[in-house]
Structure 1
Amino acid sequence: MDEDAGTPQPAAPGRAAGPRQAWAGLPWPVRTAVTWGACLVVVVAALWLLGKIAVLLAPLAVALAGTLFLTALLDPVLLRLRRLRVPPALAALLSVLLLLGVLVGVGALVWNLTASQFGELSQQLDQGLERSRDFVTSSLPVTDEQLDRQIEQIRNGLSGSAPDPVAGARTAAEVAGSLLLGLVLLFFLLKDGRSMWHWVLRRMTGPRRDVTAEAGRAGWRTLGAYSRGTMIIAAIDAIGIGLALVLLRVPLALPLALITFLGGFVPIIGATVAGAIAVLVALAANGPTTALLTLAAVIAVQQIEGNLLEPLVMKRQVQLHPAVILVVVTAGTLVAGIAGAFVSVPIAAVTWRVLDTVQRHRAALPD
């Protein structure tokens, strides 16, 4: 019997050891670049796949996020009704009807108070545009022909980018379906939301139940604080800017105040766009002096809101850097348009709070 039969033989050249030796023979910068490149390809492919899924499910995701936002906003009303021994279904229905009543009432009030001003505003806009044209041609090195050429190019661009009627009808149908789905989900979340959450917790055991319960409470508190705080700050902004517009006798002060209120739900960008609209209306209607005064009022109100009211109302419940907010709002707008801009920041705030709670809970556990 051969005495070397039980001894393992070395691998034949060119088999398993070949690729390993070839990889080990590469310089370390090449190996590092290949490894990081492969990881980058995997990450980009995963992000691309998630983006495609998010675009396909954008109406559902936006409807669900908006429903959770409204649920957190109406939760104190629901709790007050439940303390009065109102049945859960009736309390949820009354909360939804209260929301619809407020929205319909505000819309009807704004329309009744401002419908008569639209005809007068069109004349003032024509006069304001003429004054603005004279101001531009007299103050800047721009001739009437150059200004007319630029205006014509803008008009052609806007007419060329007009939405397709079929796409517009499809978008309208998606919006209507999302609104209806949101109302139905809002009723069921108000009625059975807590029992659903308790059902989820009962399916978990051990430390997972504790960390899930704590993260869920932290996320819900953050969403409630964000929704109520944002509504309060947006209302204060709308009242302050609306009073300034009334004192300066700017037309359509109430609709502009309503736009300011809605813009307050999109941090940074919403307030900037709403203030710019108010300044443009003041410029077109009453001239440069009123526009400058309106700009000063908008800046003053926003500075008071950003430096005093927001830290006081929000406290430390929502901690997101302004750069993160800009990126999140931009991403939400690209994925789901205006609705995505509204819901992107609360989603990011709740996600960050949940992850932070889980990390702190894990750090507190023994090794």
Structure 2
Amino acid sequence: MVAARTGRTPEDGPNRGAGPRQTWAALPWLVRSAVVWSACLVVIAAGFYLLARIIMLVTPLAIAVAATLFLTALLDPVQLALRRLRLPATLAALLTMLLLLGSLGGVGVLVWHLTANQFSELGDELRQGLGHTRDLITSALPVTDEQLDRLLAQLRQAATSPQVDPLASARTVAEVLGSALLALVLLFFLLKDGRAIWHWTLRRMTGPNREIAAEAGRVGWRTLGSYSRGTMLIAAIDAVGIGLALVLLGVPLAFPLALITFIGGFVPIIGATVAGAVAVLVALAADGPTTALLTLAAVIAVQQIEGNLLEPLVMKRQVRLHPVVILVAVTAGTLIAGIGGAFVAVPIAAVAWRVIDSVQRQRQPAGAPSDPPAPPPSPEPRDAG
């Protein structure tokens, strides 16, 4: 009678409806962990892929916004100093932008007068240096000239497009000019109304999220400011140090090489490596292997002093990233947005890491330890005597 009313047969167990749950619980814990972690990785990878696709669709806008934030953090102390002189916000922002444009224009004119005729010589010296390097490779390694020429031709074909599309070139130029103009306009408004915009955004939040967002914003802004000013100072120190070394060694084209070193300083690790390689190739073509080796030693010495002594003093500890993170960020930025992406990838990674770390710390329960407790010391063995 009970079986007829409930619709169950005597063979049915009490947990018949929990079959999938029992099956999942019956799996080994290693398999369950692998399934859960694989699903999480698939979701995270899909999110990153969609984000990368969106950024690729609006690459000029993304680079313009990133460059604007970088310049705003760099020029914010100047704007604040002008505001302390009782200047209106509009006038302070305008004077700050004029100072930036005047500095860039003056430096550009100076560089043009000093290096306009030297960059063609730099190209010739680089070709000669590559030729000397090729001779050294073919003499030291079991590689023939034909094999090396074939490899270089393949690399050149992979790096350059066989045909130049005039329409695509014009579009690229228009995108670059439009991004530069947009960055200047955004820079003016962020210098003028940046804090008001941030406070307006915070007022739209309620509850504990407002404090979390406010602290994360402060941490991210301090990180970006420290990174921008520290990177510019370190790049200038590298350029001056390597330029003086090239002058003392008698390497020609020292000023253009110092300029390349300064620009390469804004792309950590990779930029310094490329700039040092260019200097060594020019020294090899101009003065031979001995001067090239001395130039290599000077470049390594300057970069080691900068990385181990100056960078910890100039850069704050929270701004520094592991070299693996820097390489991955620069590579990803280059693949997504080319040279512009390589310049803005590292500051974006540094700010994102500091913001995420700040949010995690604030969401921690009060009194919870930030680090796992250290294991208790093992008891000392007692003397048997």
Q: Same fold (TM over 0.5)?
A: yes
Counting only pairs closer than 5 Å after superposition, residues 154-173 of structure 1 correspond to structure 2 as 164-173=165-174
Check 1:130–1:259 CA distance in 2 against 1; reply closer, same or farther (3 A cut).
closer
Cα deviation, residue 142, structure 1: 4.5
Cα distance between partner residues in 2 of 1:212 and 1:113: 48
Check 1:171–1:21 CA distance in 2 against 1; reply closer, same or farther (3 A cut).
same
- The answer for the alignment partner of 2:193 in structure 1 is 192
CA contact (8 A) 1:226 1:317 kept: no
Cα deviation, residue 355, structure 1: 2.1
- The answer for the alignment partner of 1:24 in structure 2 is 22
> Which secondary structure state, in structure 2, belongs to the residue aligned with residue 192 of structure 1?
helix
Cα distance between partner residues in 2 of 1:125 and 1:227: 31
Q: Are 2:230 and 1:229 aligned?
A: yes
CA contact (8 A) 1:237 1:261 kept: yes
- The answer for the alignment partner of 1:100 in structure 2 is 101
Cα deviation, residue 153, structure 1: 4.9
- The answer for the alignment partner of 1:45 in structure 2 is 46
Cα deviation, residue 38, structure 1: 4.1
More divergent stretch after superposition (315-324 vs 338-347): 315-324
- The answer for the alignment partner of 2:180 in structure 1 is 179
Q: Which has the higher contact order (CA 8 A, sep 6+)?
A: 1
CA contact (8 A) 2:130 2:281 kept: no
- The answer for the alignment partner of 1:282 in structure 2 is 283
Q: Which amino acid aligns with 1:258?
A: L
Q: Which amino acid aligns with 1:245?
A: L
> Which secondary structure state, in structure 1, belongs to the residue aligned with residue 44 of structure 2?
helix
Cα distance between partner residues in 2 of 1:328 and 1:192: 31
CA contact (8 A) 2:129 2:281 kept: no
Cα distance between partner residues in 2 of 1:40 and 1:8: 48
Cα deviation, residue 281, structure 1: 2.0
CA contact (8 A) 1:71 1:186 kept: yes
Q: Are 2:83 and 1:85 aligned?
A: no
CA contact (8 A) 1:125 1:285 kept: no
Cα deviation, residue 320, structure 1: 1.8
> Which secondary structure state, in structure 2, belongs to the residue aligned with residue 343 of structure 1?
helix
Q: Which amino acid aligns with 1:67?
A: T
- The answer for the alignment partner of 2:349 in structure 1 is 348
Normalised by the size of structure 1, how large is the TM-score?
A: 0.86
- The answer for the alignment partner of 2:309 in structure 1 is 308
Cα distance between partner residues in 1 of 2:116 and 2:242: 20
Check 1:42–1:11 CA distance in 2 against 1; reply closer, same or farther (3 A cut).
farther
Cα distance between partner residues in 1 of 2:213 and 2:111: 44
Check 1:274–1:119 CA distance in 2 against 1; reply closer, same or farther (3 A cut).
closer
Cα distance between partner residues in 2 of 1:257 and 1:130: 23
> Which secondary structure state, in structure 2, belongs to the residue aligned with residue 352 of structure 1?
helix
Cα distance between partner residues in 2 of 1:123 and 1:208: 59
CA contact (8 A) 2:226 2:316 kept: no
Cα deviation, residue 32, structure 1: 5.5
CA contact (8 A) 2:132 2:284 kept: no
Cα distance between partner residues in 2 of 1:133 and 1:178: 40
- The answer for the alignment partner of 2:371 in structure 1 is none
- The answer for the alignment partner of 2:270 in structure 1 is 269
Deviations 1:312-356 (A, max 9, x none): 111324132221111111111111111111111111111222222
Counting only pairs closer than 5 Å after superposition, residues 248-267 of structure 1 correspond to structure 2 as 248-267=249-268
Aligned CA-pair RMSD: 3.2
CA contact (8 A) 1:132 1:284 kept: no
More divergent stretch after superposition (130-139 vs 206-215): 130-139
Cα distance between partner residues in 2 of 1:162 and 1:277: 28
CA contact (8 A) 1:72 1:220 kept: yes
- The answer for the alignment partner of 2:377 in structure 1 is none
Cα deviation, residue 88, structure 1: 1.4
CA contact (8 A) 2:126 2:281 kept: no
CA contact (8 A) 2:67 2:183 kept: yes
> Which secondary structure state, in structure 2, belongs to the residue aligned with residue 89 of structure 1?
helix
Check 1:38–1:226 CA distance in 2 against 1; reply closer, same or farther (3 A cut).
closer
Cα deviation, residue 284, structure 1: 2.4
Unmatched 5+ residue regions in structure 1? none
CA contact (8 A) 1:82 1:91 kept: yes
More divergent stretch after superposition (152-161 vs 309-318): 152-161
> Which secondary structure state, in structure 2, belongs to the residue aligned with residue 291 of structure 1?
helix
CA contact (8 A) 2:122 2:282 kept: no
Give the percent of matched residue pairs that are identical in Structure 1 and Structure 2.
69
CA contact (8 A) 1:250 1:286 kept: yes
Deviations 1:295-325 (A, max 9, x none): 1111010000001000011132413222111
Check 1:195–1:124 CA distance in 2 against 1; reply closer, same or farther (3 A cut).
closer
Q: Which amino acid aligns with 1:107?
A: G
